[in-house]
Amino acid sequence: MNNRKIEILVGAFIAVGIAAILFLALKVANSGSMTSGETYQLLAKFDNIGGLKVRSPVKVGGVVVGRVSAIQLHPQEYIPVVTMDISVDYPNFPDTSTLSILTAGLLGEQFLGLEPGFMMEGIETLGDGDYIQDTKSALVLEELIGQFLFSQSDED
């Protein structure tokens, strides 16, 4: 029947619409898995955070494990403190882990690269609210150029 055909086509249209929303939410934005999951917080102090922003990703070997949730200036020490939400799927980072601010490509977005330290007896794992001690600050292009020029003039 004609009505039935129209109903089926409208149903298909809405289904395709929902599929498109799911595709955008999961494959393109990929925030479905991160925002809905439970997280715990880690903190880290840096000398310079460069262009790091709230919601920048935290990656281990390129895999996103969490996002930056807050950036503040330490009230006494006047250095930046970065708070990260890490997914509870990755609970046991050792406290010897290294955190560095990296850049995707030459002009890309900045993100946090977390490098887990060795797992050994006597080394504690990082829990909610702990600080990551070993951090490497962002490379600032101007400083790099300055250093390069300085070393050039030394050689002369």
Partner 1 sequence: MLDALARLGKNGISFISTVGRAGLMLFNALWSMPNVNKNAPLLVKQLYVVGVLSGAIILVSGLFIGMVLALQGYTILVGYGAENSLGPMVALSLLRELGPVVTALLFAGRAGSALTAEIGLMKATEQLTSMEMMAVDPLRRVIAPRFWAGFISMPILAFIFSAVGIFGGYLVGVEWLGVDSGNFWSVMQASVDFNKDIMNGFVKSVVFAIVVTWIAIFRGYDCVPTSEGISQATTQTVVHSSLAVLGLDFILTALMFGE
Residues in contact with partner 1 by CB under 8 A are: 3, 6-7, 9-10, 12-14, 16-17, 19-21, 23-25, 27-32, 35, 55, 57, 62, 64, 104-109, 111
Residue 51 vs 129, nearer CB to partner 1: 51
101 and 51 Cβ atoms separated by less than 8 Å: no
Residue 31 vs 48, nearer CB to partner 1: 31
* Measured distance CA(49)–CA(74) in Å, rounded: 13
Residue 2 vs 76, nearer CB to partner 1: 2
For the bound state, the minimum distance from the C-beta of residue 52 to partner 1, rounded and expressed in Å, comes to 13
For the bound state, the minimum distance from the C-beta of residue 10 to partner 1, rounded and expressed in Å, comes to 5
Main-chain dihedrals φ then ψ at residue 40, nearest 5 degrees:
-125, 160
Residue 22 vs 79, nearer CB to partner 1: 22
30 and 22 Cβ atoms separated by less than 8 Å: no
For the bound state, the minimum distance from the C-beta of residue 9 to partner 1, rounded and expressed in Å, comes to 5
For the bound state, the minimum distance from the C-beta of residue 5 to partner 1, rounded and expressed in Å, comes to 9
Contacts of 47 (CB under 8 A, 6+ apart): 79, 80, 137
Half-sphere exposure of 131 (CA within 13 A, CB side): 9
